[in-house]
Amino acid sequence: MINNNIHIIIGQLNFTVGDIEGNTKKIIGAIKKANEEYNADIIIFPELSVSSYPPEDLLLRPAFNKSINIALEKIKSATNNIHVILGHPLKKDGVLYNACSLIHKKEIKKTYHKQYLPNYGVFDEKRYFTPGDEACLFEINGVTAALSICEDIWVSKPVVDAAAKNAKILFNINASPYDKNKNSERESIISKRASESDMCIVYVNLVGGQDELIFDGNSMIFDKNGDVIFRVPEFGEGLYEAYIDTKQSEIKSKTKKEVNLNLIKEESIYNALVMGVKDYVRKNNFQGVVIGLSGGIDSALTLCIAVDALGPENVEALIMPSRYTAKMSIDDACTLAKKLKVSYEIISIEPPFSAFLQALKPIFKKLPVDATEENIQARSRGILLMAISNKYNKLVLTTGNKSEISVGYATLYGDMAGGYSPLKDVWKTLVYQLAKWRNKEEKIIPENIINRPPTAELRNNQLDQDTLPDYEILDPILEQYIEFDKHPEEIVKNGYDAETVYKIVNLVDKNEYKRRQAAPGVKITKKAFGKDRRYPISSGYIEKK
């Protein structure tokens, strides 16, 4: 008998790459809850849930794939009457697939192999997987449904093939990373697939941080007209309950967790940064973080993110003034630390700085003071931060932003020293936006920090503008060159001074060696430094007019 009402559970969960045992335990716990507490017909998990995503070269280890098979046996035994859609790697006849299996009554009933393997940006799936080429259908409550995986929804063919075989629902499981414009793109393409195929589409996405990648969840259900009829909260981990009426294309939800579904841009980005820090620290077993707090906007925002991610008890600030540090900077840093209830210490870098200068005096002789002495100060701070990191197993969060790292306005083994970089993909202009957003409900960051002209305070009366154009000019040029690969002449035609543009793009290219040694950080744009953008360090290519 056909029962058009299908009771589903979306398992928008946070898994850890390589933690097969922990992931399996979480999957079995969710299956048990969906079956016993919700009495659901089906539970859907994200792409590669058993291994989590991306497992990268772990997939090349035979023992890893054997562990996946052992985990699948455990998961099968927990299914009973509920249908389970589960993503996992599958090694079969010596060939590795990115697979999605339907498990029911302790058996794998159907298995789908991902057909379109992304091999761009952060994706490298063709290195590991072999593509499938067939649709995979099954029946639930008398209704024909189909399976698909992530990239397959971005291409018409797998969807059309499923519809041609009379599927009424398409279950699409994903590990789709966050960027600040991604959700609108997803919604547009899935809406198009639903309307052109006349199918309801259940889109389930991974949530959580994995190194530089953030998975934002944002799982959704679309009716056959392409309208979103159910949406899971962005960055929300949990089990989300819905009923699909396949005849009427209606949705009913019992859960009361669907709040803040359409976050404003700043809130969404800030939440991504918080999740990135939280999961990196948690998944790598650090005992907290330590941050160099300067009294500037970047370290202030980084401290707020860390506290919101980990709690003030797990965050320590180190204020390290030099002979060039203004009293205002120290006062503002102390005020911020107190407001956030963060433990902090003040350690002057004057003794180590002076000692280094004295040691180098015979070598430097009468050479003029230049950036060398500025870098010694930054490196003195890096030594102090790393000493605390070593002694207390606390991760150093670096505080540099994307604008600075783009043009090399950062010191190797100095302010770049650390284990994770929350603002690595955040333009300086966006740093100010996020700081102002964070201050909306409560004035945590002192106004001095937001309103003062940015300065590294490594020499008397120093301002960032002494070396760089205003960030309102710098950031759009960098964005066009780095994220959209525009030629300098195209950027000039968009209204920017030619000499400035060429100076900036050549700074970007010559500082690749610095970025290659930088800490990983949260990806929030289309093209972040790291896996996204791959340029040679040793290169004779120069952008010329």
pLDDT digits (tens, 9 = 90+) for 323-367: 988 898 899 999 999 999 999 999 999 999 999 999 999 999 889
- pLDDT > 50? residue 166: yes
Which one is predicted more confidently, 106 or 459?
106
Q: Which residues pair with 343 in a beta bridge?
A: 316
In the predicted model, what is the mean pLDDT of residues 145-159? 94
Contact criterion met (CB below 8 Å) for 411 and 509:
no
pLDDT at 2 over 90: no
Task: Evaluate if residue 3 carries a pLDDT over 60.
Answer: no
Q: Where are the alpha helices (DSSP H) in 85-139?
A: none
**What pLDDT shows up at residue 247?**
67
* 534 band by pLDDT with thresholds 50, 70 and 90: confident
The overall average pLDDT reported for the chain is: 91
For residue 210, give the nearest of 19, 431, 461, 426 by alpha carbon: 19
According to the model, what pLDDT value does residue 282 have?
Answer: 96
From CA 16, how far away is CA 279, in angstroms rounded?
9
pLDDT score at 280: 97
Residues 247, 251, 252, 258, Cα dihedral to 10°: 170
At residue 260, the pLDDT reads 44
Evaluate if residue 250 carries a pLDDT over 60: no
CA distance 309 to 271: 9
- The half-sphere exposure of 190 on its side-chain side, counting CA atoms within 13 A, is 31
Chain-centre distance for alpha carbon 242: 27
pLDDT of residue 4: 62
What is the per-residue pLDDT for 325? 83
Lowest-pLDDT choice from 132-141, 337-346, 536-545: 536-545
Residue type, 385: L
User: How confident is the model at residue 533, as a pLDDT?
Assistant: 87
Residue with tokens 């330590």, as numbered in its chain:
290
Domains of the chain: 5-262 (3.60.110.10), 266-460 (3.40.50.620)
d(CA 223, CA 242): 13
Cis upstream peptide for 312 (omega within 30°): no
- Catalytic residue from among 114, 278, 428, 486: 114
Please confirm, yes or no, whether 47 is among the known catalytic residues.
yes
% of the chain surpassing 70 pLDDT: 95
Strands 137-140 and 143-149, how do they pair?
antiparallel
Q: Where does residue 367 rank: exposed (0-12), middle (13-18), buried (19+ CB within 10 A)?
A: exposed
Question: Which of 90-94, 167-171, 461-465, 516-520 shows the lowest per-residue confidence on average (mean pLDDT)?
Answer: 461-465
pLDDT reading at 89 higher than 50: yes
pLDDT for 191 beyond 80 = yes
| pLDDT tens digits, one per residue of 34-62 | 999 999 999 999 999 999 999 999 999 99
Contact 169, 143 (CB under 8 A): yes
The residues with which 111 forms a beta bridge, in sequence order, are 101
pLDDT at 408: 93
* Residue 159 tokens, joined: 């969807």
Amino acid at position 314, single letter: N
Residue of 136, 150, 200, 304 with catalytic role: 150
Over residues 247-262, the mean pLDDT reads 49
When pLDDT is cut at 50, 70 and 90, the band that residue 259 belongs to is: very low
pLDDT confidence tier of residue 255, bands split at 50, 70 and 90: very low
